[in-house]
Amino acid sequence: MSSKETGFTSRLGVLTATLGSAVGLGNLWKFPALTGENGGAAFVFIYILACFILGLPLIIAEISLGRKGQGDVFTIFKRLSPNTAWISIAWMGIASGTFLLAFYSDVAGWVITYLIKAIGGDLISTDHLITTEIFKHTSTTPSIALAGQFFFLAIIAFVVLFGVSKGIERVTKILLPLLTILLIIVAIKNLTLPGAAEGLSFLFKPDFSKVNSTVILYAVGLAFFKLSLGMATMLTYGAYIPKDQNIPMLATRVMFADLIISLIAGIAIFPAVFTYGFEVTDGPSLLFVTIPAVFASMPGGTFFTVIFFLLAVFATMGASMSLIEASVAGLIGIGITRKKAVLAVIAIMTFFGIFATLSLTPVLSHTTIFGKNIFSFYDFISSNMLMPLGGFLTAIFIGWKMNKEDIFFEVSNGGTLNNTVFLEIWYILLRYVVPVLIIVVLLNGLGFLSPLFQILGF
């Protein structure tokens, strides 16, 4: 397919589609869950640092590489570095995308089930025993969880069949602003709750004694997950982006907007946690138990709950579509039709997805891989291992393998952007800081550095 057919049509289209990939369950579900499990504000602080030091340089890197390579992930590496092992970045991206959507679609299925329940008016309650029970029922009943997941995967298959610019742009352009507005309304309501002060201090007052190697590993993983990095996604999208777009500007906007949405989601959730007697460590259930409880205490609660979960479904779709688009474009690149490619990718992801979903139900709850259930294992291997590794290799590829002039030419739009100082800083980050940090975080997270730290007396 030529870039004309698939390219994004307008400047706003580029921004919303890239943002549409970034904003999703990561903001509404994963950010609050990890923040709660990892001690609150100190985690948030390290996550924000990771967004600036690792996320921003890498999102610029991936989009630029994609636009320079003009094609699917495989074509990009074949063009920029023919017959080398660098193409493994593309394969790794596709692999982590498969693991990611496998568990992501399970959570997306819960969101759909919640939407249906909300329409029936079944969700609204401030009693944490009731909301917790509804969540358990949704996520651990095999038939319900699988039905939600299949339904979700079927919808995105349908939408992606219509192609990038038509399908993805249209949906995200309208819905992201609406979702943000609704989140702000919920956040404001939260600020009036009795637990507001406690919730805010949990979210924003760091206790750095809670920071350890696991906290850092998860914060870095979240930065990758949030910005859709270290996988083929931003590379693929880069190829669709017009040559006159200012990539550093686009990337910075996406990073800030995404971060702000996560923080608003945090404000929309944590005061309610302290008000209604949930536990911050409830993790994956936080989104699903707190939001209905907050709406229950508002006039028009049922209506708002329906709209909220509807918008959450759409945000999740935008992110998921970007994710499968990378694999689909790869298959199209080797000569498969779009239709077959979409069906093949969805079939593979559904296959892996079934195991993730069942691992939270009694059917497969006893099966563990490296001490984690299948759901958490998929999440860990993609967010905390493959994505950082993909980011590491991308940084090395640009910083050490590519010609500096070539990549500067791409990121400065042929020199017309006059951003040399910025580019030099970006280049140093990619060449030294990003790779070293990622390796230290990965080795540290896996426990390989603790003997060294002991020798050094830390």
Any contact of residue 22 with ligand TRP (CB under 6 A)?
yes
| Residues 242 and 6: beta-carbon distance below 8 Å | no
Binding-residue pattern over the window 312 to 331 for ligand TRP, x denoting contact by CB under 6 A: -------x--xx--------
User: Which span sits near ligand TRP by CB under 6 A: 20-28, 242-250, 302-310, 390-398?
Assistant: 20-28
Any contact of residue 16 with ligand TRP (CB under 6 A)?
no
Query: Site for ligand TRP (CB under 6 A): how many residues?
Result: 15
Nearer residue to ligand TRP within complex by CB, 75 or 316: 316
Nearer residue to ligand TRP within complex by CB, 175 or 196: 175
Binding-residue pattern over the window 82 to 101 for ligand TRP, x denoting contact by CB under 6 A: ------------------x-
The alpha carbon of 38 is separated from its chain's Cα centroid by a whole number of angstroms, namely 18
Residue 229: CB minimum distance to ligand TRP, A: 6
Residue 388: CB minimum distance to ligand TRP, A: 11
User: Which span sits near ligand TRP by CB under 6 A: 72-80, 120-128, 132-140, 224-232?
Assistant: 224-232
- C-alpha neighbours within 13 Å on the C-beta side of residue 183: 26
Any contact of residue 24 with ligand TRP (CB under 6 A)?
yes
Any contact of residue 26 with ligand TRP (CB under 6 A)?
yes
Residue 228: CB minimum distance to ligand TRP, A: 3
Q: Choose among 264, 263, 298: nearest CA to 192.
A: 298
Q: Choose among 326, 159, 166: nearest CA to 238.
A: 326
Q: Which of 18, 21, 138, 350 binds ligand TRP (CB under 6 A)?
A: 21
Binding-residue pattern over the window 229 to 258 for ligand TRP, x denoting contact by CB under 6 A: --x-x-------------------------
Any contact of residue 67 with ligand TRP (CB under 6 A)?
no
Contacting positions for ligand TRP (CB under 6 A): 21-22, 24-27, 100, 225-226, 228, 231, 233, 319, 322-323
